[in-house]
Amino acid sequence: MLAALRHWAVRSPHPAAAALRSARRGFSRFTLPAPRLVVVPMLYVFLALRAVVYFVRQKFIAEPLLKAYCTRHGRGVTAGIYVPWVKGRGELILGDGVRLNGKISLAFASTFTASPRLSIGAESDIGHNVRFVVAREIRIGDHVQIASDVSLRDSSGHASDPALRRAGAPPAFDDVKPVVVHDNVWIGAGAQILPGTEIGEGSIVAAGSVVSGTVAPNTVVAGNPARRIGTLTPAGP
């Protein structure tokens, strides 16, 4: 009944239907005047209240609960306004000055080791919606920049053999391979870092790349699968 009435209102040439469509267009285009003398103070009040709410969420909720998750953390560890989503149990080690920005998810799988470990080195910056899947170990060095929507995993999470996968078996032990990201690496938005990847110091992973294997130090890689597209010359002291 409602669907038929909606179709009539949208398609019918009847004057009543046309009037309804005209009223809907008028309503969708309705806007209030915004005299600056009124709306500018409103804006400042809104921004001040938002800053207070964000400060409380960050300093009194997100950061204390993040530190509660940690096995060990350094000084100056900061988070945004979201508590990281942590599934399973493992070791979370954060160095001095680590910054977690936005929503972060971390899944530990204890099938292959009693204490899977994620360690993030000093002054590293982790962007919004970064996802870690840790079955054995993911190790992030110092001064690493990881942009938003990056996925890092040391396990595929499923067996390669179709029969074992259908039976719900975990991946083979040899398919679980630690991930190592050395110091001063930049990983662009949306990249996927697959099991067994090692990214050398100073390298850049372009946005959207799918990386496996070894990336040499001071190298730029891009694509799916990621390939070297350039090299970097570190600046002198």
pLDDT digits (tens, 9 = 90+) for 67-95: 999 999 999 999 999 999 999 999 999 99
Residue carrying the six token digits 């040499």? 216
Q: Does domain 85-230 have CATH number 2.160.10.10?
A: yes
Distance between CA 191 and CA 178 in Å, rounded?
A: 17
Q: What is the pLDDT of residue 234?
A: 77
- For the question of residue 158 being annotated catalytic, the response is yes
CA 140, chain centre distance (Å): 15
| Residue 17: Cβ within 10 Å count | 16
The domain ranges of the chain are 85-230
Q: What is the pLDDT of residues 169-187, one digit of tens each?
A: 677 677 789 999 999 999 9
Q: What is the pLDDT of residue 91?
A: 95
Residue carrying the six token digits 């919606």? 129
Residue carrying the six token digits 């019918």? 12
pLDDT band at 13 (very low <50, low <70, confident <90, very high): confident
Q: Is 93 helix (H, G, I), strand (E, B) or coil?
A: strand
- Statement: residue 164 has pLDDT above 80: no
- Give percent above pLDDT 70 in the chain: 97
Q: Which helix (H) or strand (E) holds 210?
A: strand 210-211
Distance between CA 120 and CA 207 in Å, rounded?
A: 21
Mean pLDDT to the nearest integer, 50-74: 96
Say which of 14, 73, 128, 158 is annotated catalytic. 158
